Structure 1
Amino acid sequence: MKVNRIRQNVFPVLAALIWGTAFVAQSVGADYVQPFTFNAARAAIAFVFLFCLCAVLRMRRRRDFGGQAQPRPTARRDLALGGLCCGTALTVATNLQQKGLETTTSGKAGFITALYIVLVPIAGIFLKKRPPKTIWISVVLAVAGLYCLCVTEGFSITRGDFYILLCAFCFTAHILVIDHFTQKVDGVELSCVQFLVSAILSSAGMLAFETPSLAGLRACIFPLLYVGVFSSGVAYTLQILAQKDSDPTVVSLLLSLESVFATLAGAVILKDQMSGREYFGCVLVLIAVLLAQIPVPAKKDAAAGTGAV
C-alpha cells in the first residue's frame, strides 16, 4: 500500500518537475535544430534508454520466475497497439510543442500545455461521463486566462501559442490512450514502444520537411540528452506508472504542476519576462486546472460514472 501511494503521488510530481524544466532545454534546442529533427533525436535517445531498462527488468523477471518471464496473454498485441496509439499521439503533440517554442516563451508554453488537465474531463463527455458544474467554470476561467496570456492588443494570437494550444489537445488524447492500455501491459515496455514509434514518425517528418544538421545537433547535445533521457525516457514512464491503478483526478492535479515549474524555470534560467496581464492569465489558467480536479461528491440519484475523468 505504501509503495503504491508513493508511486501515485511522488511519480507525477517528479514528472511535472522534469517536464517543467525541460521547456527550457526545448527552447534552447529550438534555436539550433528544427522540430522534427529535435524530436526524432530525443525519441531515439529515449528508446535506447528504455530498451536497456526493459532488458534489465526482463532479466530480473526471469530470475524471479525460475528462468522464465511471467506469461501475459495477448500482451504482445496490446503492447504493439498501445505503443502505436501512444506513440502517434505523442509524436504529434511533441512536434507541435517544439514548433510553438520557436516563437513563444517556455513559461507561456507550460501554462497553455497544462490545459489538457481541463480537456481530459471534458473528453469524458464522449465516454458517457457527465462532468460536474465545476468543469464548466474551469473552461470559462481557462478561456479568460488564455485570452490574457496569448491574445495581443491587436486581437491576434501568435503562431507559437496556437501550436502549443493544439499540442494540449494532442496530450489529452495521449492521456486517454494511456488510461486505456496501462492496465493491460507493462508500463516501461509501453513507454519504450511509444518512443520507438515516435522516433520513426519524427524521422519521417524530418526527412520529408526539414534539412537535418549534424552541427546543429552537436550544438544542442546537452539539451537533447536531458530531454531524451529525463523528459522522455524517465518522466513519460513515470506518468504511465502513476496512472496505473490510481485516481486519475489526483494524478492529473499533480501533473498540472508542470506549468508552475515551467514558468519558474523560464524566469530563472532564460530570464523570460512576461507582462502583468500575462501573469494574470497564468493565474487564471492555474486556477482553472486546479478547479477542474476538485472531486465533487456524486448525488444519490446521479447516474453511475458522473464526475471528472
Structure 2
Amino acid sequence: MTKTQLKANILLLLTAAIWGLAFVAQKVGAEHVGAFTYNGIRFALGSISLIPLILFLNKKKRENEETQNNDRDSLKLTVKAGIIAGCALFIATSLQQMGVMGTTAGKAGFITGLYMVIVPILGLFLKQKVNKSTWIGIVIAIIGLYLLSINEDFSISNGDLLVLIGSVGWAVHILLIDNFTKKIDPLKLSSVQFATCSILSLVMAIIFEDINMVGISGAMVSILYGGLLSVGVAYTLQVVAQKNAKPSHAAILLSMESVFGALGGAMFLGERIGARGLVGCILIFIAIIISQLKPSEKGSKDMVENI
C-alpha cells in the first residue's frame, strides 16, 4: 500500500466516523424538532456548504477550457438529475429520521447499513449480475436483522421498521447516483439534490409540524453537525479520498459507519445493545463486508491481493 492510498484510507475511515456519529446527532435533534424540520435545515446547510468547493473546481475547469453550450447542457442535466435524486433522498432521510425517534442510534446505524446488501438485489431488476458472495451476505444480513430487530413474538418496533424501509430508499438513491455521476459532476449533483431534499422537507414541515425557534435552537448543534460535517465535510472527504483508494477498500472502510454509530450511541447516549442484538450487529457488519467482495476475473489469488 502506497502513502497516497494510506492517506486515502484514513480519510475514508474519518468519513465513516463522521457519518456514524451523525446518528447520535439525529437522535438528539429528534428530541427538539420534527423530522422534516431537522432535515430541511440540515440539507439546506449541506447544499450551501458545497458551493465554495464547486466554484473553486469550476475555476480550474475553465482554465482547461469548456464551451458555453456544453455548460448549459450540463446545467440542465444536473438540475434534472439533482431533482430526481433529491426526491429519493427526501424519502430515505425522512423515513430514517422518523425511525430514529423510535430506536437507538446504534441500531439505526446497522439497519441503515443494509443498503449495501439491498443495492445488488435491486440491481437484479436492472439486469445486473449478483455474485455468490453477495448472496451469502444477504442471507447473513437477514439473520443479523432478525436477531437485532425482531422480537420473540415476531414483531418489529415502528422505529426499526421505518429505518429498514428507509434503507431501501438509500439503495434506490445509490443506484440513481451511480447512474447520474457517469454523466455529470458529482459535487454539483449533490448540491442540487441536497437543495431539493431541503425544499421538500421544509414544505412538509410547514404543513405537518410545529416549527418554532425554541426547538430549532435546542437542536442547533445537531443540525450544524448533520448539515456541515455529515453532509458538507464528509462528502468532500469521500470524493477526495476515493480518487486514490481501491474500490474494495473504500466499500469496507465506509461500512464502518454502522460501527461508529453504535459506539457513538453507547458513548454519548448511554445506549446498550443486549447479547442477542450484539450478535445481530456483528452478523450485519460481516454481511456488509462479504457483500462487497467481488471475485477477480484473474482468480482468487488476485481477489485477495485487491482487498
Q: In the alignment, is the contact (CA less than 8 A) between 2:133 and 2:294 conserved in 1?
A: no
Deviation digits for residues 5-41 of structure 1, max 9, x if unmatched?
5797455433211110111111100100010000001
Q: Which residue of 1 aligns with 2:145?
A: 146
Secondary structure, counterpart of 2:294 in structure 1: coil
Structure 1: state its 5+ residue gaps.
301-309
Structure 2: state its 5+ residue gaps.
300-307
Query: May I ask how many residue pairs the two structures share in their alignment?
Result: 298
Deviation digits for residues 44-89 of structure 1, max 9, x if unmatched?
1112212233234334544x35899895573112211221122111
Q: Which residue of 1 aligns with 2:159?
A: 160
Q: What CA distance in whole angstroms lies between the structure 2 residues aligned with 1:10 and 1:127?
A: 34
Secondary structure, counterpart of 2:258 in structure 1: helix
1:17-96 to 2 correspondences below 5 Å: 17-62=17-62, 64-65=63-64, 72=71, 74-96=73-95
Q: Which residue of 1 aligns with 2:221?
A: 222
1:108-187 to 2 correspondences below 5 Å: 108-187=107-186
State the shift of 1:247 in Å: 6.4
Secondary structure, counterpart of 1:273 in structure 2: coil
Q: What CA distance in whole angstroms lies between the structure 1 residues aligned with 2:11 and 2:192?
A: 20
Q: Which residue of 2 aligns with 1:307?
A: none
1:171-250 to 2 correspondences below 5 Å: 171-239=170-238, 249-250=248-249
Q: What CA distance in whole angstroms lies between the structure 2 residues aligned with 1:183 and 1:246?
A: 18
State the shift of 1:273 in Å: 0.8
Q: In the alignment, is the contact (CA less than 8 A) between 1:111 and 1:259 conserved in 2?
A: yes
Q: Which amino acid aligns with 1:46?
A: G
Q: What CA distance in whole angstroms lies between the structure 1 residues aligned with 2:244 and 2:74?
A: 18
Q: In the alignment, is the contact (CA less than 8 A) between 2:5 and 2:244 conserved in 1?
A: no
Q: Which amino acid aligns with 2:276?
A: R
Q: What CA distance in whole angstroms lies between the structure 2 residues aligned with 1:216 and 1:111?
A: 28
Q: What CA distance in whole angstroms lies between the structure 1 residues aligned with 2:66 and 2:148?
A: 56
Q: What CA distance in whole angstroms lies between the structure 1 residues aligned with 2:158 and 2:289?
A: 27
Q: What CA distance in whole angstroms lies between the structure 2 residues aligned with 1:66 and 1:77?
A: 19
Identical-residue share of aligned pairs (%): 41
Which deviates the most, 291-300 or 130-139?
Answer: 291-300
Q: In the alignment, is the contact (CA less than 8 A) between 2:115 and 2:167 conserved in 1?
A: yes
Greater helix share, structure number: 2
Q: Which amino acid aligns with 2:160?
A: D
State the shift of 1:167 in Å: 1.1
Q: In the alignment, is the contact (CA less than 8 A) between 1:183 and 1:244 conserved in 2?
A: no
State the shift of 1:236 in Å: 3.4
Q: What CA distance in whole angstroms lies between the structure 2 residues aligned with 1:4 and 1:77?
A: 36
C-alpha distance 169-240 of structure 1, shift in aligned 2 (>3 A): farther
Secondary structure, counterpart of 1:74 in structure 2: helix
Q: In the alignment, is the contact (CA less than 8 A) between 1:115 and 1:285 conserved in 2?
A: yes
Q: What CA distance in whole angstroms lies between the structure 2 residues aligned with 1:170 and 1:224?
A: 22
Secondary structure, counterpart of 1:130 in structure 2: coil
State the shift of 1:90 in Å: 1.2
State the shift of 1:233 in Å: 1.8
Q: In the alignment, is the contact (CA less than 8 A) between 2:131 and 2:294 conserved in 1?
A: no
Q: Which amino acid aligns with 1:266?
A: G
Which deviates the most, 181-190 or 86-95?
Answer: 181-190
TM-score by length of 2: 0.87
State the shift of 1:210 in Å: 1.3
Q: In the alignment, is the contact (CA less than 8 A) between 2:24 and 2:265 conserved in 1?
A: yes
C-alpha distance 39-196 of structure 1, shift in aligned 2 (>3 A): same
Q: Which amino acid aligns with 1:40?
A: G
Q: In the alignment, is the contact (CA less than 8 A) between 1:250 and 1:293 conserved in 2?
A: no
Q: Which residue of 2 aligns with 1:303?
A: none
C-alpha distance 190-6 of structure 1, shift in aligned 2 (>3 A): farther
Secondary structure, counterpart of 2:271 in structure 1: coil
Deviation digits for residues 99-153 of structure 1, max 9, x if unmatched?
0110100000000000011111222212222212222221111111111100122
Q: Which amino acid aligns with 2:129?
A: R
